[in-house]
């Protein structure tokens, strides 16, 4: 849980460093099969820490190697679910977009208000939001500063479900599946999002054979024929 309530979970350097190291720690633990990232009822995160940005020079920001932190989040193996309530703005929206899926409660409000500060999104907002919701909505949100309600975000394809506290149920469902297959499936979906159809199809085919070679696949297929629940070990 992001927990910097006084600043509506604004993503300070300190918060981001802690978040990434904690996510990487959880990711290394193979017993953990899904991670849920949430904020408070009032805000998932209200963006980059504006006070910090106002005090920094461009070169200081460049040297802080912020990009590497965002890449580290994208490179996590374990499925990562964003549980979003309240404000999900700027870097907060980019953080949610960096997760594998977003579950929103009805109070969620998504936006990229950077241009009102004279800057632009810098952690993938112009790219990931556009791929998620299309050019028309992305242009509107990024240029006019319009906030999307949870329902609008659902219709636009930014979030997967709008139900309070549903993220935990989704995480449990994910955690019950074959862990090897889940990782491979997540990587394959990312290929659809990040590369061409042909490359994505080739990746999917290879990933299927790899999944097929896992002990999890043997267990899952056998359990079905024996009419019992599978006991996946993640091998």
Footprint of ligand COA on this chain (CB under 6 A)?
7-8, 10, 46-51, 87, 89-91, 113-114, 117
Give the C-alpha separation, 107 to 64, whole Å. Answer: 33
Report the residue number, 95 or 217, with the smaller CB distance to ligand COA.
Answer: 95
- Any idea which residue has 């791929």 for tokens? 131
CB of 205 to ligand COA, least distance (A): 41
Report the residue number, 100 or 114, with the smaller CB distance to ligand COA.
Answer: 114
CB contact at 8 A, 104 and 159: yes
Helix ranges, the chain (H)? 13-28, 50-55, 58-63, 66-74, 91-98, 130-133, 135-139, 150-156, 166-176, 179-194, 197-212, 215-225
Give the C-alpha separation, 205 to 187, whole Å. Answer: 12
Integer-rounded Cα radius of gyration of the chain: 19
Active site residues: 48, 91, 94, 114
Which residues touch 222 (CB under 8 Å, ≥6 apart)? none
CB contact at 8 A, 160 and 103: yes
109: three-class secondary structure by DSSP = strand
Give the C-alpha separation, 107 to 105, whole Å. Answer: 5
CB of 135 to ligand COA, least distance (A): 21
Report the residue number, 129 or 188, with the smaller CB distance to ligand COA.
Answer: 129
CB of 107 to ligand COA, least distance (A): 12
Report the residue number, 46 or 150, with the smaller CB distance to ligand COA.
Answer: 46
Report the residue number, 4 or 183, with the smaller CB distance to ligand COA.
Answer: 4
CB of 113 to ligand COA, least distance (A): 4
CB of 50 to ligand COA, least distance (A): 4
């Amino acid at each position: 849980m992001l927990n910097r309530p006084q600043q509506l979970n604004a993503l300070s350097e300190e918060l981001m460093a802690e978040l990434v190291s904690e996510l990487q720690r959880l990711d290394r633990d193979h017993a953990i099969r899904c991670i849920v990232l949430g904020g408070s009822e009032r805000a998932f995160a209200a963006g980059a820490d504006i006070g910090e940005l106002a005090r920094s020079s461009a070169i200081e920001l460049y040297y802080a190697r912020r990009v590497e932190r965002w890449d580290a989040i994208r490179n996590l193996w374990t499925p990562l679910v964003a549980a979003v309530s309240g404000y999900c703005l700027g870097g907060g929206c980019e953080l949610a977009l960096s997760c594998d899926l977003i579950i929103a409660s009805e109070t969620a409000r998504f936006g990229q208000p950077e241009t009102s500060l004279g800057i632009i999104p810098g952690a993938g907002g112009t790219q990931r939001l556009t791929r998620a919701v299309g050019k028309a909505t992305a242009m509107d949100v990024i240029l006019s500063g319009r906030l999307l309600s949870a329902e609008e975000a659902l219709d636009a394809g930014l979030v997967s479900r709008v139900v309070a506290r549903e993220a935990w149920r989704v995480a449990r469902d994910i955690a019950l599946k074959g862990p090897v297959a889940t990782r491979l499936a997540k990587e394959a979906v990312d290929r659809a999002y990040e590369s061409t159809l042909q490359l994505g199809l080739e990746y999917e085919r290879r990933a299927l054979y790899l999944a097929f070679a896992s002990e999890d696949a043997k267990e899952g297929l056998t359990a079905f024929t024996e009419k019992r629940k599978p006991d996946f070990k993640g091998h």
